[in-house]
Chain A
Amino acid sequence: MKRHSKGLWLTDTLFVILTISSFTALLIPVGRITPKLMGTPYTVWMGVVFCILYIVLAYFASTLLKEGPNDN
């Protein structure tokens, strides 16, 4: 249980960091199109990367919650 709490603390922290980063120039730089990835503008492919990171994080959190005592 303790291991799960630590794991959830970690995923929550990463979620907060990712969320704050979502509102910075890392994801939404003003007026910037490059670097492109396979011809796709920066904000589009970086947006896909962010989406994947959020979903992967959600998946890890869900596996940590899987063995909870109230799964009914």
Chain B
Amino acid sequence: MITSFIIAGTIYLGILIFLARKTRVKEKTTSNYLLAGGNLGMLLGLFTTAATIFSAFTVIGMPDFFRIHGIGSWIFLAVADAMMVYLLIRVGIKIRLKARASDYNGMSGLLAKAYGHKFVGLIALIGVVIFLVPYISVQIKGVSTFLGAAFPEALPHWGWKTLIVAVMIIYSEVGGLRAIMYNDTLQGIVLFVVIWVIGLNCISEFGSVSGMFERVQAINADLLSVPGPNGLFTTQFYIISAVSIAILPFTQPQISTRIIIMKSHDALRRMAIGLGVFAVLVILPTMFMGMYGAILYADLPRDEFIGHVLLYDQAPAIAALGLIGLIAAAISTSDSQIFALGTELRSLLTIDDKKALVITRIFIVVFGVAALIFSILSIEHLVSLALTSFSGTALLAPLILMGILSEKKPGLLIPICTILSLLVFVLSLSEVIPGKFGLVDIRMILFSFLTIITGIEILRLKLQ
């Protein structure tokens, strides 16, 4: 497999260098470097958005989640993604229109203008930094786990992580957003092909889908219904995850930027529908991989299970391609996120464009290093970490949606309540305050609180 990996790796690296050189702009400006000229077509938009959403967390995290918690994982991600598509069309078009009319440089800057206070933009920036850095670390951690399983003697986990972050930062710094989006497209195609080949291989082990589920039922029937063998999939869990995932396009800047820079509403509409289909088709084979693991590798630790399902049980060429697909997935998602954090910072800087870009590029490195440190220190499960990130940024939704969609200038009630909610959520994650009050999850309480506050603010603005 090493030979196949070296060949595939060299080709992939060659394509990366080619794309970075081809898309490199000599005279970098916020528009051409951070926003790729603001002219994104349907196909590139679809793949770059899909690759930003589905990556190492999907390829490594989801099979393991299916293996441990069962088929309820399908509802948690696929149905929530399908909900997202509807909201993307209904709300995304309005957001794109408003943002483009406001000289968009980034969501934080847009919010600072909408609320008339720079500190509101700063809240959005701090919120995404706090919750995107763990998400980036999910990707880095995921792919280093996989590389560690493939080449146990080559490098320690932290060595793989450092290497990935270095490639990611260099690529982003050189090529800008357009290079990232081309890499996303390449990654999306590779990921889609590889995940289906592996998924179908998993089914063929049991003869058919029906045969596979029968075997799972014989071993552990609880895996085939909710709440799953560990009782994870409660209605409350589903509500929290659906809210957190369905509003991702508005709360995570790497996705909202892509919506706003779409060439036209028509391109956005077609991209959204394509994204829904892509989501379902990408998550489905991860279920086959998880069920395969539940039958054959139920008691193995995650890393060993991943090693088997993606590497050792596959033909060498597929395993090598899978490895490259996964590296590409992790790099393309993480660099999009790090880049988005840079863009958010840029949107708050009111200095000369050239100077602002220099500061932004320095901070892209800083954000990358922060994610690297977090990925080394974190021990949480990939999917749990991703969900924490989704829930954290979801707390910003009322602030963002009110700021962009309100016809009248909103007051400071929502920004202040958002700060409080972020603080409470961070304290609960740090276990300073409980994560649950009775049976009610703290996220449920915070979502409800912010919904009520938003209702009050809408009423106040109507009565004005």
Contacts and interface: CB of A to CB of B under 8 A. Distances in A.
B90 interface: yes
Interface in A23-51: 23, 27-33, 36, 38-44, 47-48, 50-51
Interface string B185-226: 000000000000000000000001111011001000110111
Contacts of B214: 39
Contacts of B97: 70
A61 B238 contact: no
Contacts of B90: 8, 12, 15, 61
A36 B211 CA distance: 13
Nearest to B279: A51
A40 B79 contact: no
A43 B79 contact: no
Nearest to A14: B86
A56 B74 CA distance: 19
A3 B72 CA distance: 39
Given A54-B276, A58-B85, A61-B89, A68 B224 contact: no
Residues of B contacting A: mostly: helix
A71 B265 CA distance: 5
Interface residues of A, number: 38
B233 interface: yes
A66 interface: yes
Nearest to A50: B79
B72 A72 contact: no
A33 B239 CA distance: 22
Given A23-B238, A55-B273, 4 more contacts: A22-B75, A44-B287, A47-B75, A61-B89
Interface of B: 71-72, 74-75, 78-79, 81-83, 85-86, 88-90, 93, 97, 208-211, 213-214, 217, 221-222, 224-227, 233, 235, 238-239, 242, 264-266, 269-270, 272-273, 276-277, 280, 287
